[in-house]
Structure 1
Amino acid sequence: DDILVTTTSVEKVDKFFQDMQVVELKDLGVVSKFLGVAFSYDEEDGWALDQEQVIQDMLVKFGLGKAVPVSTPIGGEQDGEAPVGSFLWISRCTRPNISFAVHRATRNSHAPREADWRLAKRIAKYLKGTKSIKFVMNADENAMGEDGVLVEAYSDADYAADKKDRKTVSGGVVMMAGAVVAWMCKKQACVALSTMESEFVAASQTTARMLGIIECLKEIGIKVRIPSLLHVDNQAAIAQLEGEDTTGHAKHIDTRHKFVKDFAKKKVLLINYCESKKMRADVLTKVLPAPRLVELRELVML
C-alpha cells in the first residue's frame, strides 16, 4: 500500500518511520507523485498538484489522443457521459472546474446514450487543452494565528437546474487558511420551491462538509478559529439562516437543514454576504462561458 506522511517538521517524519520499524516501510523521500497526482513545491507559491499524466493516459485509453481541445468542459446543449470513473477521480483530486460537467455525465452512467458519449468527449477535449493546469495550495498567513486557523466555506445553488425533475444543484467550496481543501457538486434530494430555499439547502450541505473538516482538524490537534465563515450570495437565504425572517416562508424545509441556524445563533458560524461575481462555488453549479470559467478557475486555486 502507498502511504503519504504529512507533518510540520522533518523531525516528526523521522520519528514516524522510527515508530513504524516493525512494519517494512520504504522511505521514498519528499513526495513527487502519489496515486497519480504529481506534487511540486515552491517556497513562495506553496504546493502545486496536477494530474497531467493521468489525463494523457485517459485520452489515449479512450482513443482521444488527437482530439481538438475546447475552452469549456460542458456546452449549453446539455450532453451526457462515458468514461465517468476517470473523470470523477480527476475532478475530486485536482480539478474542481470540471465537477459540474462530470456531475452531468454521471446521470446516465447505468445506461449511457449517444449524448452521454458526446459529453464525455467534450470533457476529454477540455482536459486535453488544460492538462498542465496545477491545483495550488498556499496558506495565507493572515488566516493563521494564536486564535487558530480560519476555516471558511462558499455555498451556491442553481435553482431548478435539472429540466427533467427540476431539482437544484448545490455547490460548495471549503477553505482552510486561505487554501481550497474541499469542494462538492451535488443534486439536492428535494424539489426546492424558491431560489431562497435552494440556497438554504446548499448552505446546509456545505456547512456539513465544513464541519467534518473542522472536526478532523481538531482531532489532529489543530486549533480552529471561532467563528468559522459561510459565504452566501442570496440575501433572502441569509435572513433565513440567521433567523431574521419571521414570515414562516421556510417552515416546511426539512429540519435537518436548519442546524445551520443553530450554529449561527451560537456565534460558532458567521454568515457573510458574497457578491455573485466573487462566489467561488459558482463554478460547481452551472454551465459557464469560457471567460467566466477562467475567472472562477483562478478563485479555486487553478
Structure 2
Amino acid sequence: MCLYFKHDGSDMVVVGVYVDDLLATATHEELVDKFFEDMAVLSIKNLIYVSRFLGMRVHYDDHHVYELDQEVAIDELLRKFGMENVHGERAPIGKECNDNPALQEELLPAVDKSTGPRFGDFNLWSTACCGLHAIPDRTSLSQSTKATRQTHQPRLADWELCKRVLRYLSGSKSVKLRMKGCNSGAALRLEGFSDADFAADKTNRKSVTGGVVLLNGMPILWVCKKQGGVALSTMEAEFTAASHICRELLGFRQLLLEIRLSVEPMPLMVDNQAAIKQLRTE
C-alpha cells in the first residue's frame, strides 16, 4: 500500500493505492470529486462511497464509525472446503501448537488420481494457505497462520491446525474492526502493546514476539513472529519485542505528522519489569 497526499492551505487530499485499487479521502467532499476529475485521463472509476476494499466489507454509519469485516470472504472460504455448517472453535489454536514438529513427521498425502482429491491433499492445502492469508483483518490469526509456512512439506498436524482455524472463523465470522471518529483538530491516540514468549520454539528455542498498535482504540498493526536470534533471558526476549513495537510506533507517528495530524505522547505497554527498567535506562 502506498499513500499519497496533497496540502493546499488547510485543505488536504489523501489517496491510498494498492495495485489498481484506490481509496481517496479529503477534508471536503468536493476535493475528492475534483481528484477523480483530474484523474479521468486514466479511466479511473469512481465508486463513490467505499463498501468493499481488498476483500474487506466497509460500513460507515451516521455516528462517524467505520466497521471492517470479512464475513463474505470467510463464507466463501468455508464453502470451498465444505465446512459451512461446522461447529465453531473458541480459539484458533490449542496448546499443541508449540509441540516439537520433529515429533509430527507424517506428511500430507499426494493427490490420488484414481479416487480424486481428498480433503487433506496437498493441492487443497495450498488453496487453504492462500485463503487464510486473504483474511487480513483478524488479529487472532497471527500465530495460527504460522502453519502456512510449511508449504513445501506440510504435515498432517499442520492440516489439522488449518481445519481448526477454519472452524474458528466459522464461529467468529461476524467479528468486526471498529474505528470511531474524533473531533476535528483533536490529537490522535497512538499506543503499543508488546509481549514475548521466551524460548517458545522447541526446535531451536527462539522466542516469539507479539504486539499490537492501536489508533484511537482500533488495531492498525499486529505482529506475531519468531525472533531472529536466540534470547538468553526473558528480559532479552521482552526487550526485543518492545523495540520492534517501538519502531512501528515511530513509523506511524511520522506518517501522521506528515499529513498534519497531531499525535498524543505514545505509551508502550510492556509486562516485564526487568525489560521496563532496561528501556528506561536506554
Question: TM-score, structure 1 length as denominator?
Answer: 0.72
Q: Which of residues 71, 88, 92 in structure 1 aligns to 2:133?
A: 88
Q: Which of residues 146, 155, 160 in structure 2 aligns to 1:118?
A: 160
Question: TM-score, structure 2 length as denominator?
Answer: 0.77
2:58 matches 1:19: no
Q: Give the CA RMSD over aligned residues.
A: 2.2
**Larger Rg over CA atoms:** 2
Deviation at 1:145, TM superposition (A): 5.2
Q: Is the 8 A contact 1:139 1:179 kept in 2?
A: no
SS at match of 1:29: coil
Deviation at 1:16, TM superposition (A): 1.5
Q: For each residue in 1:137-172, what CA deviation from the matched residue of structure 2 results, as whole angstroms up to 9, or x when unmatched?
A: 22466xx856x4232111111111111111111111
Which is worse superposed, 10-19 or 47-56?
Answer: 10-19
SS at match of 2:21: coil
Distance in 2 of aligned mates of 1:96 and 1:174? 11
Pairs within 5 Å for 1:38-187: 38-44=57-63, 46-78=65-97, 82=125, 83-90=128-135, 93-103=136-146, 105-139=147-181, 148-187=187-226
Q: Is the 8 A contact 2:191 2:249 kept in 1?
A: yes
Q: Is the 8 A contact 2:213 2:221 kept in 1?
A: yes
Q: Per the alignment, do residues 139 and 234 of structure 1 end up closer, same or farther by CA in structure 2, a change over 3 Å counting?
A: farther
Q: Is the 8 A contact 1:156 1:170 kept in 2?
A: yes
In structure 1, stretches of 5+ residues that fail to align are 244-260, 262-302
Which is worse superposed, 94-103 or 231-240?
Answer: 94-103
Aligned length, in residue pairs:
237
Which is worse superposed, 163-172 or 4-13?
Answer: 4-13
Deviation at 1:115, TM superposition (A): 0.6
Deviation at 1:89, TM superposition (A): 2.5
Deviation at 1:189, TM superposition (A): 0.7
In structure 2, stretches of 5+ residues that fail to align are 1-19, 102-107, 109-124
Q: Per the alignment, do residues 45 and 120 of structure 1 end up closer, same or farther by CA in structure 2, a change over 3 Å counting?
A: farther
Q: Which residue of 2 aligns with 1:188?
A: 227
Query: Quick one: which amino acid aligns to residue 86 of structure 2?
Result: A
Q: Which of residues 272, 278, 281 in structure 2 aligns to 1:234?
A: 272
Distance in 2 of aligned mates of 1:140 and 1:161? 40
Q: Is the 8 A contact 1:41 1:48 kept in 2?
A: yes
Distance in 2 of aligned mates of 1:177 and 1:40? 18
Distance in 1 of aligned mates of 2:215 and 2:171? 29
| Greater per-residue strand proportion | 2
Give percent identity, aligned residues only: 47
